[in-house]
């Protein structure tokens, strides 16, 4: 790492290790570098050599002592947003300590650094912004994007998560304030899959916002104009995609929270040209399919025998349907027959062939059927065994809808996937109470345990964090040049296989998040194997995939500088 100018006349220090040497800053500059700072854990010898004597309280602490202090302090905060601010502040001061605390308390802290709290953080981003993290590219930067990316100080970036802020979770257009999402996603890449923090780069592309409240807010951090569209928008995205490939030749680009109008076509445009995927379409699909596979194991049923209704017809619903169709085909069904098993409902009712208002991504699931105006009428007519919510419409799964499903299906599978919690189609309690405790339930945001009769259910969270970190790690480990649907199918299958009888006993269709790093390593292994089988890998094939991948995973431990 390059050194920085040093105050107080203390020179930067060359640190020599067995196989390499590097230069680190000293004094206050070292304490201000979150990648190198150890805070009060600098030893007495390090303090002398690195010009830190007098700049820190004299008592030396360990990483373990620091981590215990931090988690106690975080727990003492009065609200989740305060806890989020505390953790992000730590990330800006001491990266190693941040990841040590996050990994050790992943189940507890994931809802803080990511969904649902990150949604509130994005809504308040102009008020809580303290320090820049990642990069911003605006429509005023056209023609200079490669030059701007050259300002990033790290060359070996392997994962970019990029958003234009148009569809942040279920909250809509937040413009530049959607930056909290790429930051949170990349924190999960490191915590769950051990991708090195230095290899992660969050980027927001500022093309304006149509959010009137933000346009009138003096604390809005983006350019105060309405969104650009059409050729001007496409030219900026195109310049960014290829400038990123040039600046970071081995990079994986993850599209995040783009609006429907752009998400599908950008994925279609670039998926066969560069190493990209869309987490809202493909990541959501994989984790949803994994949950369905687990639920079907609980009830000893086949996927190809199910009828699926998806409430919502956007990125998530279409991506889920496409991956379900692939999974059914692997059970031996023809594609047309598999598609016939999946039904979409949008704001105008059931998606059917007779409608003339359907955009392209809905047309593959427009079947021959009389028009139906709403979800309840569709449930009564189609008798689905699986109901998936991807609509962002709070309480759309009414008691009438849920009880109707339970009237003909002994174990209805109910997935209310919309984020954050306030947008969920139903709560866990509503799902269990309306089905006499027979539902197999999962949600996009976490719900607490629910007691019904003599059983206590701890429902699973259908969180993309189960999938995208492992997929990214597998891409990095194999040097894959493309991301394929087969990779997401294998990720889903692997995740489902990690769900145990103990999980089933409490009604959970996903493994505990406490096992996230173990599960991510196995998903990465499955993805890497697909890359090698498909001829997409550029790295040398290892003799033992899992061991090789685990050896690459970042561990948050302090390095000695003397």
* Cα–Cα distance measured from residue 365 to residue 344, given in angstroms and rounded to the nearest whole number: 7
> Are the C-beta atoms of residues 384 and 350 closer than 8 Å to each other?
no
Active-site residue flag, 136:
no
3-class state of residue 487 by DSSP: helix
Q: What is the pLDDT of residues 55-76, one digit of tens each?
A: 999 999 999 999 999 999 999 9
Whether the pLDDT of residue 226 is over 50: the answer is: yes
- The DSSP code for 391 is S
Token pair of 100, please?
Answer: 């040590």
- Tell me how far apart the alpha carbons of residues 184 and 204 are, in angstroms, rounded to a whole number: 13
CB 193 within 8 A of CB 517: yes
378-436: per-residue pLDDT in tens?
A: 999 999 999 999 998 999 999 999 999 999 999 999 999 998 888 899 999 999 999 99
Report the distance separating Cα 39 and Cα 60, nearest Å. Answer: 9
Average pLDDT over residues 321-329: 98
State percent of the chain over pLDDT 90.
92
| pTM for this entry | 0.93
State how far the Cα of 92 lies from the Cα of 94, in Å rounded to an integer.
Answer: 6
Where is 163: in which H helix or E strand?
strand 159-163
User: Do the domains 83-274 and 282-465 sit in the same CATH topology, yes or no?
Assistant: yes
pLDDT in tens, 449-473: 999 999 999 999 999 999 999 999 9
Size of the chain, expressed as the number of residues it contains? 562
% residues pLDDT > 70 (the chain): 96
Of 290, 257, 252, 283, nearest to 467 by C-alpha is 283
Q: Is 114 annotated in the active site?
A: yes
φ/ψ of 423, rounded to 5, equals -100, 0
Q: For 109-118, write each residue's pLDDT tens digit.
A: 999 999 889 9
pLDDT greater than 70 at residue 22: no
282-465 sits in which CATH class?
A: alpha beta
Quickly list DSSP for 505-548: HTT-SS--GGGHHHHHHHHHHHHHHHHHHTT---SPPPSSHHHH
Q: Would the pLDDT of 261 be above 80?
A: yes
Looking at domain 83-274, which CATH architecture does it have? 3-Layer(aba) Sandwich (3.40)
Tokens 């230095």 correspond to: 198
DSSP-derived secondary structure for 268-316: HHHTTTSSEEEIIIIIHHHHHHHHHHHHHHHTT--GGG--EEEEB-SHH
> Which residues share a beta bridge with 345?
311, 350
Give the chain's mean pLDDT.
Answer: 94
Q: How confident is the model at residue 15 (pLDDT cuts 50, 70, 90)?
A: low
Specify whether the CB–CB gap between 390 and 312 falls below 8 A.
yes
Q: Which of 38, 185, 493, 522 is catalytic?
A: 185
pLDDT of 6 higher than 90: no
Catalytic choice (84, 99, 114, 270): 114
* pLDDT tens string 492-524: 999 999 999 999 999 999 999 999 999 999 999
Burial category of 139 from C-beta neighbours within 10 Å (exposed 0-12, middle 13-18, buried 19 and up): middle
Average pLDDT over residues 479-490: 98
- Write the DSSP assignment of 177-221 as a string of letters: GGGHHHHHHHHHHHHHH---GGGEEEEEEE-----HHHHT-TT--
Every domain of the chain and the residues it spans? 83-274, 282-465
pLDDT of 146-200, one tens digit each?
999 999 999 999 999 999 999 998 889 999 999 999 999 999 999 999 999 999 9
């Amino acid at each position: 790492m390059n050194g920085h100018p040093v105050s107080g006349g203390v020179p930067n220090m060359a640190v020599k290790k067995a196989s390499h040497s590097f230069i680190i800053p000293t004094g206050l500059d070292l304490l201000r570098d979150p990648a190198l700072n150890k805070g009060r854990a600098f030893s007495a010898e390090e303090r002398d050599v690195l010009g830190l004597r007098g700049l820190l309280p004299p008592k030396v602490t360990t990483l373990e002592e620091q981590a215990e202090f931090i988690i106690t302090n975080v727990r003492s905060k009065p609200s989740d947003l305060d806890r989020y601010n505390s953790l992000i502040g730590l990330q800006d001061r001491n990266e190693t300590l941040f990841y040590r605390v996050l990994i050790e308390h992943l189940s507890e802290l994931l809802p803080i650094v990511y969904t649902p709290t990150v949604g509130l953080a994005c809504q308040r981003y102009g008020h809580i912004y303290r320090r820049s993290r990642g990069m911003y590219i605006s429509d005023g930067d056209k023609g200079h994007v490669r030059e701007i990316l050259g300002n990033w100080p790290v060359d070996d970036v392997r994962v970019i998560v990029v958003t234009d802020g148009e569809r942040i979770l279920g909250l809509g257009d937040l413009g530049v304030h959607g930056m909290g999402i790429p930051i949170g996603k990349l924190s999960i890449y490191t915590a769950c899959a051990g991708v090195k923090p230095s290899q992660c780069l969050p980027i927001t592309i500022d093309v304006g916002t149509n959010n009137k409240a933000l346009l009138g807010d003096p604390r809005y951090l983006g350019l105060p104009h309405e969104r650009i569209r059409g050729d001007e928008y496409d030219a900026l995205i195109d310049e960014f995609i290829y400038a990123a490939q040039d600046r970071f030749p081995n990079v994986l680009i993850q599209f995040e929270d783009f609006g429907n109008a752009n998400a599908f076509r950008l994925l279609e445009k670039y998926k066969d040209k560069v190493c990209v995927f869309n987490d809202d379409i493909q990541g959501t699909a994989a984790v949803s399919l994994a949950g369905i596979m687990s639920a079907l194991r609980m009830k000893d049923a086949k996927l190809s025998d199910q009828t699926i209704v998806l409430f919502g017809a956007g990125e998530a619903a279409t991506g889920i349907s496409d991956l379900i169709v692939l999974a059914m085909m692997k059970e031996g069904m023809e594609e047309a027959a598999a598609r016939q098993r999946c039904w979409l409902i949008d704001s105008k009712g059931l998606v059917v062939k007779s409608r003339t208002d359907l955009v392209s991504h809905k047309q593959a699931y427009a079947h021959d059927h009389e028009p139906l105006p709403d979800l309840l009428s569709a449930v009564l007519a189609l008798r689905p065994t699986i109901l998936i919510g991807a609509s962002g419409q709070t309480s759309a799964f009414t008691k009438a809808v849920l009880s109707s499903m339970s009237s003909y299906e002994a174990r209805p599978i109910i997935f209310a996937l919309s984020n954050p919690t306030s947008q969920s189609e139903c709560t866990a309690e509503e799902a269990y109470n309306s089905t006499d405790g027979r539902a197999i339930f999962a949600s996009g945001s976490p719900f607490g345990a629910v007691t019904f009769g003599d059983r206590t259910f701890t429902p699973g969270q259908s969180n993309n964090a189960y999938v995208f970190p492992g997929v990214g790690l597998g891409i990095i480990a194999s040097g894959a040049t493309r991301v394929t649907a087969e990779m997401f199918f294998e990720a889903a299958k692997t995740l489902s296989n990690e769900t145990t009888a103990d999980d089933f006993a409490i009604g959970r269709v996903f493994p505990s998040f406490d096992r996230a790093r173990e599960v991510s390593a196995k998903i990465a292994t499955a993805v890497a194997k697909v890359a090698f089988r498909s001829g997409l890998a550029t790295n040398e094939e290892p003799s033992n995939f899992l061991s090789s991948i685990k050896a690459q995973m970042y561990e948050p431990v302090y390095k000695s500088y003397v």
